[in-house]
Structure 1
Amino acid sequence: MSSTRSPRRGGNSEGGLPPRRRVRPAVVAALVVAVTATTVPAIWIITRDDVAVKQAAAAQPAPTPQPRKPKETSFWSKGTGVKATQHSDRAPVELGMRFTAAQSGWVTGVRFYKAQGDRGRHAGSLWDASGHRLARVTFAGESPSGWQEARFASPVRLNAKQIYTVSYHSTNGTYVGTKGFGPARSGPLTMAPRNAGVFGYGDSAFPRQSNPKGYNYWVDVIFRWRHHVPPGTTKSPEPSVIPDPDETPIPSEKPSPSRTGTPGPSISIDPDPDETPRPSSTSTTSTGPDPTETPSRTPSPGRTGTPGPSTSASAEPTETPSPSETPSPSRTPRPTKTPTPSSVPTTSASPTPSKTPSPSRTADPTPTATRSSTPRPSLSPEPTLTSDPGGGGCAGYPTPACTGVPPGTKLTAKTLNEDGAAYRVSTPGTVLNGVHITGDLLVHADDVLIKNSQIDGRVINADGPRTYRFTITDSTVGPAKGCQTLPGIGQDKYTALRVHIRGHGDGFRASGDNIVIRDSYVNLCSNPGDHSDGIQTYNTGKGLIIDHNTIDQRHATDITAPIFLVDKQIVDATITNNLVMGGTYSIQLRNGRGELIMRGNKLVNKSWVYGPVEADCAKIKWADNSLVTIDDDYRITSTVGPLNCNG
């Protein structure tokens, strides 16, 4: 490209002009050509004998960088021909592929190559490394054979350099497979170098087995990603997720208690961020995930003697300061954490205490029964657990009426700025007050405060291996209808106060140090194949506090426990004054170390499937826990007796 600087005029050391000389027409023509190649406007004054040059005073605007649109890729296209051996195992089978992505992005759907004669329904799934199902979709409108595709109801965010599994389930066990298949690559995607092809017989579940001959079962993932635009450049508009006819409608949420006689939050649309920066501090890095212990599934039907696989051992919009915060409607302060039993009926619409039909239960323990005389740790005086001085509270145990977005709050809709599926915060100290986010909220900066807000997806503070501190108060997390398998809030270094979580299979994920969950309400749901938990530890660290929450799992069917704390990394956990109900074993606390306190909790009598408690009782400071009955508004109507640790 021609220089944008004005040509230097020649001269001697005294600054005088050189002798004038004539310029031939050919030279003038060449200069005219050179003028048209310049990138800065210039005024050329051409005379018959010489040339004088002056640069125009007006500067040309800097060129606008080409916007970077999200890219979508998969290992194979719909037109890829597949020549593979067909197998017919005559038994239901889950077939999958393990893969990783070099950079974070979103999985939008699943493909698989259908064998001739493979009849029946097919469902696609996405799993994390520990076997948690992240998303599920049923295929519709299938062709007799060849590639089939289905899109998830919502894109699922994947972290870079983590192992995931994409799979599909065949009800009659007919599929194609190619042995000795080498690892494939496409964009940032790479098949796992070893045991990429996996399978499992029986109902749809995480496929763990692999064939030593290195089979590929022709399952594919649809992955979307985008390079982050360098700071100072313009970001392209985010495309919306295009609905796909193959998506399966998500079941509606079971009824939950609702506020009565009070208008809900109103929503206005404001595409511009209105976040208030706060003082920030340095972030830290979390450790990598470890597999989480989950209950064993019912044995699946064995395979028949057929020749199948043999088993072997972006840059974000500028965040501008917002005006002074609008005071939130005040709530009645909570006078005490121990509610007064009451049997006064109310008129609010809420679920009944009766639980969803479940597998047969074992005999209910006698409330007064005691465990063996194994000595337990002595119980120190109860620590003072103060509530957030800036908020209100619940007169009794938390319900939807005293958690979540306060009644009358005006919400401003935020434009999703991360692949049309999430809103990403990258400025430390940001305050989100009174906003409505129609997808996930990605907290990728420290000391973020979320208050009086509604997030229809989940709140995530992990960006690859790094996590960020945040606080969320008086906010609602989860969709009003449907059920998302993934946790509502995670991963570590967060405080949650008066939060209402709905429409999630898992409520809170505890995956590190310094987590406080208090005065919150969780109403759980489940999808087929889920292991629903109210609060689940996953590579948890030190200082977990779970105080004065209501966790209702009675309306979920694919369940583990309202309180599921079984991680070997747990050090010092305090679980106090909670009201819980549902689950296989409602309260599970195992494998922890340090000071483990379980005190003052209420468990709804006979709401479990197998039993009330499964715990390492000798390690736990266990006191003042009891079995109770409640009314439709979660008010205790009677105390059945003490809840003893019989784990």
Structure 2
Amino acid sequence: MKHRRNLFTGTRLRRAVTVCSAFGVVILIAVGFTWYSTGRDDATPENAAQADTTQPAPDGQPAPLQSIPPSAATASASASASAPISASASGPTSKKPTSGTTTKAVAKGDCVLPSYPTESCTGVPAGWSPKKTVEGDLTVTKAGAVISDQLVTGSIYVKAADVTIRRTRVYGTIDNFLGDKIFGHLTIEDTEVVPKPGEGVSSNQQYAFGVANYTCRRCKVMNRMEGWRVGASSFSGAGQVIIEDSYAQLAVPAGMCQSVDPHGDGIQGYGGPTATIRHNTIDQRGDDCPTSPIFIPDQDNAGGTVKDNVLAGGGYALRLSGGSFPTVTGNKIVTKSAEYGPIDVDCSKIGDWSGNAEVTFDFDRGVILKETKKLNDC
């Protein structure tokens, strides 16, 4: 960068020539002025650089509420995954976007492809503690309400539009299908449904998240027999469902398979609207009487997109037969984890079927170890 010349050069020069004639002084001043003016670099953006200093993002800043495009979810944050929130802290700061640029929501940094969601990078962040504890159920009746950093020992019942639930732990269910009406759009981020303290596996047979017109991003389900429900599309307020960058470890209490036989699912469609199921890890190996990690049967379901998921366990790990599935790609089934086989799908209802395979998988790190077999059935 050019340096500015000393403003006082002309002054010293004038002092040196005080014995000269007025005409000489005028000439020297003119020369000094010309030299100073041509030597300056007024285009140097010193003030502009100071105005454009990087501003650190608030720690744990959530991803934008609008649904994120597949490219953002995979190139990433989830955010979880959602980088928006990481398991421990926000990611490194970056320069503010210039005018005309846009930012994309992304999954948490250690969950992005080619990695997959794990227990540690979904749900509430590491070291989290609630700012508020609600004993029993919480019913939300205010439109646009934001529920954040809460522990709810019962269930959250959403009875208002445009509610957001963020960084919250729940022992019961999060449900927006009440009184024959769907209350949406509901956004759920960095939130988990887990057993009560001292209860290793939840005995609750209700789904953890449901049922329509909601987005669940970087959500976590632990030791529960039912994960997400996609349904009630014929009721008022129903709309599409997005489940992405999320993790579920499914299980049933000892002896329940013999007494109740609940046939749990990771994601179950029942009269469901269109669903986008993208970049999730669903582990059903702890359920001795399962149906499937993803189960969208011919029960008045609209179908949807099923992309880049890791699935383990179930009778079949991936069961798709109800509705239309324009994209079923990049799904990985853990080898020999399902009782009857990796997939049970109706190929006539599937558009793009590619990149699906059986693999070995490290659940702790969320990484594929080896592809063992391509699934080219469709």
- The TM-score with structure 2 as length reference comes to 0.66
| Corresponding residue for residue 82 of structure 1 | none
- CA-CA distance at 1:388 after TM superposition: 3.0
Q: Aligned Cα RMSD in Å? A: 2.5
Structure-2 residue corresponding to 1:472: 188
Partner AA of 1:558 in structure 2: C
Q: Which amino acid aligns with 1:575?
A: V
Three-state SS of the structure 2 residue aligned to 1:401 is helix
Superposition map of 1:453-464 within 5 A: 453-464=168-179
> Deviations 1:137-161 (Å, cap 9, x if unpaired)?
xxxxxxxxxxxxxxxxxxxxxxxxx
1:390 Cα offset (Å): 8.9
- Describe the superposition over 1:535-562 as per-residue Cα deviations: whole angstroms up to 9, x where unpaired: 0001112x31000000000011111000
Contact 2:302 2:322 in 1 (8 A): no
What is the correspondence of 1:445-456 to structure 2 with a 5 Å cutoff?
445-456=160-171
Q: How do 1:568-647 residues align onto structure 2 when only pairs under 5 Å count?
A: 568-593=299-324, 595-621=325-351, 622-633=353-364, 634-645=366-377
**Matched residue, 1:399:** 118
Q: Deviations for 1:29-77, whole angstroms, at most 9, x for unmatched residues?
A: xxxxxxxxxxxxxxxxxxxxxxxxxxxxxxxxxxxxxxxxxxxxxxxxx
8 Å contact 2:107–2:245 — kept in the other structure? no
Q: Do the aligned partners of 1:414 and 1:423 also contact (CA within 8 Å) in 2?
A: no
Whole-angstrom distance in 2 between the partners of 1:567 and 1:591: 4
Identity percentage of aligned residues: 33
Query: Which residue among 278, 289, 293 is the counterpart of 1:562?
Result: 293
- Contact kept, 8 Å, 1:479 with 1:503, in 2: the verdict is yes
Are 1:444 and 2:159 an aligned pair? Answer: yes
Q: Which residue of structure 2 lines up, in the alignment, with residue 95 of structure 1?
A: none
1:505-516 superposed matches below 5 A: 505-511=225-231, 512=233, 513-516=239-242
Matches within 5 A, 1:242-641: 327-328=59-60, 336=75, 388=105, 394-395=111-112, 396-416=115-135, 421-469=136-184, 470-479=186-195, 481-483=200-202, 484-511=204-231, 512=233, 513-526=239-252, 527-528=256-257, 529-541=261-273, 543-593=274-324, 595-621=325-351, 622-633=353-364, 634-641=366-373
Aligned to 2:95: none
Deviation at 1:326, TM superposition (A): 7.4
2 CA distance for matches of 1:438 and 1:389?
30
Q: State the TM-score, normalizing by the size of structure 1.
A: 0.39
Question: What SS is found at the alignment partner of 1:560?
Answer: strand
Structure 1 residues 466 and 330: CA distance shift in structure 2, 3 A:
closer
List aligned pairs for 1:70-85, cutoff 5 A: none
Letter in 1 for 2:347: C
Q: Report how far residue 329 of structure 1 moved.
A: 7.4
Q: Deviation string for 1:194-244 (max 9, x for gaps)? A: xxxxxxxxxxxxxxxxxxxxxxxxxxxxxxxxxxxxxxxxxxxxxxxxxxx
Task: For residues 554-588 of structure 1, give each alpha carbon's deviation from its aligned partner in whole angstroms, at most 9, with x where no partner exists.
Answer: 01111100010004422250000000010101110
Matched length: 267
Partner of 2:225: helix, strand, or coil? strand
Shift of 1:592: 1.4
Structure 1 residues 414 and 591 mapped into 2: Cα distance closer, same or farther (>3 Å)? same
2-structure distance, mates of 1:449, 1:578:
25
Q: Which runs of 5+ in 1 are unaligned?
A: 1-324, 338-385
**1:598, CA displacement in angstroms?**
0.9
CA distance in 2, matches of 1:461, 1:393: 30
**Which structure has the higher relative contact order (CA within 8 Å, separation 6+)?**
1
Q: Contact 1:398–1:548 (CA<8 Å) still a contact in 2?
A: yes
**Structure 2, gaps ≥5 residues long:** 1-56, 64-71, 77-102, 234-238
Question: CA 1:444/1:571 → structure 2, altered by over 3 Å: closer, same or farther?
Answer: same
**What amino acid maps onto 2:369 in structure 1?**
T
CA contact (8 A) 1:330 1:391 kept: no
What SS class does the counterpart of residue 404 from structure 1 fall into? Answer: coil
1:643 is displaced (CA, Å) by 1.3
Q: 1:410 to 1:392 in 2, by over 3 A?
A: farther
Distance 1:488-1:519 versus aligned 2 partners, 3 A rule: same
SS at match of 2:337: coil
Note the C-alpha offset of 1:401: 1.2
Cα separation, 2, equivalents of 1:569 and 1:610: 25
CA positional deviation for 1:389? 5.0
1:336 shift after superposition: 3.9
- Give, in angstroms, the shift of residue 414 of structure 1: 3.2
Check conservation: 2:159, 2:183, Cα contact below 8 A. yes
Deviations 1:369-415 (A, max 9, x none): xxxxxxxxxxxxxxxxx973596661410001110001133312333
**Deviation of the 1:619 alpha carbon:** 1.9
Deviations 1:93-144 (A, max 9, x none): xxxxxxxxxxxxxxxxxxxxxxxxxxxxxxxxxxxxxxxxxxxxxxxxxxxx
Distance 1:567 1:462 in 2: 22
Give the secondary structure class of the aligned counterpart of 1:546.
Answer: strand
Aligned-partner Cα distance in 2 for 1:326–1:434: 15
Contact 1:505 1:533 in 2 (8 A): yes
Please report how far the alpha carbon of residue 479 of structure 1 lies from its aligned counterpart in structure 2 after TM superposition.
1.4
Q: Is the 8 A contact 2:303 2:322 kept in 1?
A: no
For residues 309-337 of structure 1, what are the alpha-carbon distances to aligned partners after superposition, in whole Å with 9 as ceiling and x for unaligned? Answer: xxxxxxxxxxxxxxxx9742799x98748
Give the Cα separation in 2 of the matches to 1:636 and 1:520.
Answer: 17
Name the SS for the 2:306 alignment partner: strand
Q: 1:507 to 1:550 in 2, by over 3 A?
A: same
For residues 441-488 of structure 1, what are the alpha-carbon distances to aligned partners after superposition, in whole Å with 9 as ceiling and x for unaligned?
Answer: 111111110111111111011112011111000111121532222110
Write out per-residue CA displacement over residues 256-284 of structure 1, whole angstroms, 9 at most, x where no aligned residue: xxxxxxxxxxxxxxxxxxxxxxxxxxxxx
Higher Rg: 1
- Partner Cα distance (1:540, 1:486) in 2: 17
Q: 1:446 to 1:495 in 2, by over 3 A?
A: same
